[in-house]
C-alpha cells in the first residue's frame, strides 16, 4: 500500500483537516462530517515535468493502462501504489470541434468544442470515476458495491461490478430513470432496488444501508471516484495540445464532475503544469437548481473552506417546509440535495466560475441542436449547451472565447425524451416522421417535395 504520509485522505474543512489512511473506507469525515479529498505529497511522488510527456503513452496502446483515458495519466492520481488498477477501456473519448453547432448558437468557428463522454463503455462519464473507485474497492477486498442513481451511475457500477466479480446493489427512484440506463443495470446483473422516492431519498437511504451492511459505496461522496473523473480534464487539455480553454461548461447534478474538474485544475496549477485555470460554468436545470439559488441568489461562497453552514441549513429547511422536489426532463440531474456542494463551491472559487439555470425547453432545443449536427447526447448533457447559449445571450461568454461543453451521456440513454421531442412536440428542431401510404407514387411525391439539405458544412477531414 502507498505510504500514508505520501497519499492519504483529508477532510476538506480547514478547521478540521483530519487525515485518514487509504484503507479506511469512509464517505465523510468522522470528526466533523464534511467531505474527504484524496491528498498527495507530490514532492515525494514522480510526476512528469510537463503534461506533453503523457502523450508518449499513445505509442504503447497495447498496454491497457496506457490505452485507458484515466490510467494514461496515472501519475496524477497515484493512490493505487503497487495494486493493479481496474480498467475496462474507459476514457476513449474525443473532443469534437463543433463548428456547425457553433454557427447555430453564435460562437466563432474553431472556438466551440464538445467533450463527448458518451463514448465510454457504459455510455457516460461515470466510467472515469468507476475505474478509480473499483481500483480502491478491490485494493481493500470489497465484495459488494452500492450506489443511489438517476441512472448512469447505476449503469456504470453494474458494468464494473460484473467485470470485477462483485455484487452490485443499486437504489433508484421508481419510475425516475431513463430506460436505456435501467436496461443496463438489469442486463449487467445488478440487484436493483426501486425505492418509492426520488433520487435525494435514495441517496440518503443508500448511505444508511452502506453503514449498516458494510457495502462499498461508489456515489461521488467517495473521493476515489472523483480522482478518476479528473482525467476528463486531462483529456480535454491533451486534445487542445495542452492549452487551457477559456471556459468549461458542465451540467450540475450531484456536483461530482465540477468538483473533480476543480481539483484537477488546482493540482495542475500547484504542480506548475498549467499557468491558468479555465472558468467553470455549472449549469443546473431550472427544476433542480439548488446550486444556482445558493450561489447566484444567496451569495454562498467557498470562503477559504469556511462555508456559511447556517445559510445552507436554512435553505434546505425551507426546501423541506415547502416540500419542494426536483423535477426536470433532464432526469440525470434531477437532484435537489447535491452531495458535493462544498467541493463545487471550491471549484467555482478556484476557477472564477459561475452557475446558471436553464429551463427544460432550452435543454430540449439544445439537445436537438447537438444531435442535428451529428453529435448527440442525453438531456442532462445538453444543459451545458443550453447554458452556453444563455451565457452568450448575457454577454458573459463572448463568441471568440474558447469553450468546452461536456456532453456527459450518450443519446441512446434516454430515447423517450428524444422521440417525444420529434414526434409529439412542435419545437424549432422537431423532425417529425412523415406518414406515407405503402405506395411508390406517394413515397416519390413525399421525397420530391422535401427540401435539399444545406451543404455549406460537412466533414472537412476528407477534403
Ligand atoms: N450528466 C449526466 C448524464 C449524469 O448522469 C449526471 C449525474 C450528471 C450530468 C451530473 O453530474 O452529479 O457530477 O454533477 N448522474 C448521477 C447518476 C447523479 O446517478 O447517474 P454530477
At 252-309, the pLDDT tens digits run 999 999 999 999 999 999 999 999 999 999 999 999 999 999 999 999 999 999 999 9
The grid coordinates listed for 58 are 499513445
Q: What mean pLDDT do residues 48-55 have?
A: 94
pLDDT at site 5: 86
- Share the mean pLDDT of the chain: 96
pLDDT band at 463 (very low <50, low <70, confident <90, very high): very low
Question: pLDDT digit string (tens) for 65-94?
Answer: 999 999 999 999 999 999 999 999 999 998
Say if residue 246 is exposed, middle or buried (CB neighbours under 10 Å; 0-12, 13-18, 19+).
middle
Tell which residue, 172, 159, 157, has the closest CA to residue 218.
Answer: 157
DSSP E strands, 207-350: 216-217, 247-251, 279-285
pLDDT at site 251: 98
CA 299 to chain centre: 24
Residue 328 beta carbon below 6 angstroms from any ligand 1 atom: no
pLDDT band at 462 (very low <50, low <70, confident <90, very high): very low
pLDDT at site 400: 98
Asked if pLDDT for residue 461 goes beyond 80, the answer is no
Angle 332-335-336 from CA coordinates, rounded to 5°: 165
pLDDT band at 1 (very low <50, low <70, confident <90, very high): low
pLDDT at site 453: 64
Question: pLDDT digit string (tens) for 337-349?
Answer: 999 999 999 999 9
Asked if pLDDT for residue 457 goes beyond 60, the answer is no
pLDDT band at 175 (very low <50, low <70, confident <90, very high): confident
Q: Is the dihedral of CA 400, 405, 410, 413 positive or negative?
A: negative
Residue 290 beta carbon below 6 angstroms from any ligand 1 atom: no
Helix (H) or strand (E) holding 145: strand 144-149
Give long-range contacts, CB 8 A cutoff, 24+ apart: 68-73.
68/131, 69/93, 69/128, 69/231, 69/235, 70/128, 70/131, 70/132, 70/228, 70/231, 71/131, 72/231, 72/234, 73/230, 73/231, 73/234
Residue 378 beta carbon below 6 angstroms from any ligand 1 atom: yes
Q: Which of 61-70, 114-123, 431-440, 450-459 has the lowest mean pLDDT?
A: 450-459
DSSP 29-87: -TTT---EEEEE-GGGS---SSGGGGGGGGGGTTSHHHHSTTGGGGGGS--STTSPPP-
Number of the ligand 1 atom closest to the C-alpha atom of 335: 18
Residue whose CB lies within 8 A of the most ligand 1 atoms, among 202, 262, 333, for a mutation test = 333
Q: At which residue does the C-alpha cell 431513463 appear?
A: 178
Name all domains of the chain by residue range, CATH numbers in brackets. 94-121+226-418 (3.40.50.1100)
pLDDT at site 176: 84
Say if pTM beats, i.e. exceeds, 0.85.
Answer: yes
Asked if pLDDT for residue 376 goes beyond 60, the answer is yes
Asked if pLDDT for residue 362 goes beyond 90, the answer is yes
CA of 70 to the centre of ligand 1 (A): 18
Q: What mean pLDDT do residues 177-194 have?
A: 96
CB 108 within 8 A of CB 118: no
Amino acid at each position: 500500500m502507498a505510504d500514508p504520509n505520501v497519499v492519504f485522505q483529508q477532510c476538506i474543512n480547514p478547521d478540521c483537516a483530519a487525515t485518514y489512511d487509504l484503507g479506511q473506507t469512509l464517505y465523510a469525515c468522522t470528526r466533523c462530517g464534511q467531505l474527504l479529498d484524496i491528498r498527495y505529497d507530490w514532492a515525494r511522488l514522480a510526476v512528469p515535468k510537463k503534461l506533453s510527456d503523457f502523450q508518449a503513452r499513445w505509442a504503447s496502446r497495447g498496454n491497457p493502462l496506457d490505452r485507458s483515458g484515466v490510467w494514461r495519466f496515472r501519475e496524477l492520481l497515484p493512490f493505487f501504489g503497487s495494486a493493479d488498477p481496474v480498467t475496462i477501456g474507459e476514457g476513449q473519448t474525443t473532443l469534437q470541434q463543433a463548428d456547425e453547432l457553433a454557427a447555430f448558437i453564435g460562437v466563432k468557428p474553431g472556438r466551440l468544442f464538445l467533450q463527448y463522454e458518451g463514448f465510454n463503455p457504459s455510455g457516460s462519464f461515470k466510467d472515469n470515476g468507476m475505474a478509480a473507485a473499483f481500483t480502491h474497492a478491490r485494493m481493500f477486498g470489497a465484495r459488494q458495491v452500492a450506489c443511489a442513481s438517476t441512472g448512469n451511475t447505476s449503469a456504470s457500477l453494474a458494468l464494473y461490478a460484473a467485470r470485477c466479480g462483485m455484487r452490485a446493489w443499486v437504489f433508484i427512484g421508481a419510475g425516475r430513470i431513463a430506460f436505456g440506463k435501467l436496461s443496463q443495470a438489469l442486463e449487467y446483473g445488478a440487484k436493483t432496488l426501486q425505492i418509492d422516492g426520488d433520487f435525494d431519498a435514495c441517496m440518503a437511504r443508500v448511505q444508511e444501508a452502506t453503514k449498516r451492511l458494510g457495502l462499498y459505496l461508489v456515489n461521488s461522496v467517495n473521493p476515489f471516484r472523483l480522482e478518476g473523473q479528473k482525467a476528463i480534464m486531462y483529456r480535454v487539455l491533451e486534445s487542445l495540445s495542452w492549452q487551457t480553454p477559456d471556459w468549461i461548461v458542465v451540467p450540475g447534478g450531484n456536483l461530482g464532475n465540477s468538483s473533480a474538474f476543480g481539483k484537477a485544475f488546482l493540482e495542475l496549477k500547484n504542480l506548475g503544469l498549467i499557468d491558468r485555470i479555465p472558468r467553470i460554468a455549472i449549469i443546473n436545470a431550472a427544476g433542480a437548481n439548488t446550486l444556482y439559488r445558493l450561489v447566484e441568489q444567496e451569495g454562498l461562497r467557498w470562503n477559504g473552506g469556511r462555508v456559511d453552514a447556517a445559510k445552507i441549513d436554512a435553505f434546505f429547511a425551507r426546501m423541506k417546509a415547502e416540500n419542494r422536489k426536483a423535477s426536470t426532463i433532464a432526469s440525470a440531474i434531477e437532484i435537489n440535495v447535491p452531495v458535493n456542494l462544498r467541493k463545487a463551491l471550491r471549484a467555482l472559487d478556484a476557477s472564477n466560475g459561475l452557475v446558471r439555470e436553464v429551463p427544460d425547453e432550452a435543454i430540449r432545443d439544445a439537445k436537438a441542436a447537438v444531435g442535428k449536427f451529428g453529435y448527440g447526447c442525453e438531456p442532462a448533457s445538453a444543459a451545458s449547451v443550453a447554458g452556453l447559449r444563455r451565457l452568450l445571450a448575457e454577454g458573459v461568454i463572448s463568441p471568440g472565447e474558447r469553450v468546452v461543453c461536456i456532453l456527459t451521456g450518450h443519446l441512446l440513454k434516454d430515447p423517450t425524451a428524444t422521440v417525444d421531442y420529434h414526434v409529439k412536440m412542435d419545437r424549432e428542431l422537431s423532425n417529425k416522421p412523415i406518414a406515407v401510404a405503402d405506395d411508390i407514387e406517394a413515397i416519390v411525391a413525399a421525397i420530391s417535395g422535401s427540401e435539399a439539405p444545406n451543404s455549406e458544412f460537412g466533414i472537412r477531414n476528407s477534403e
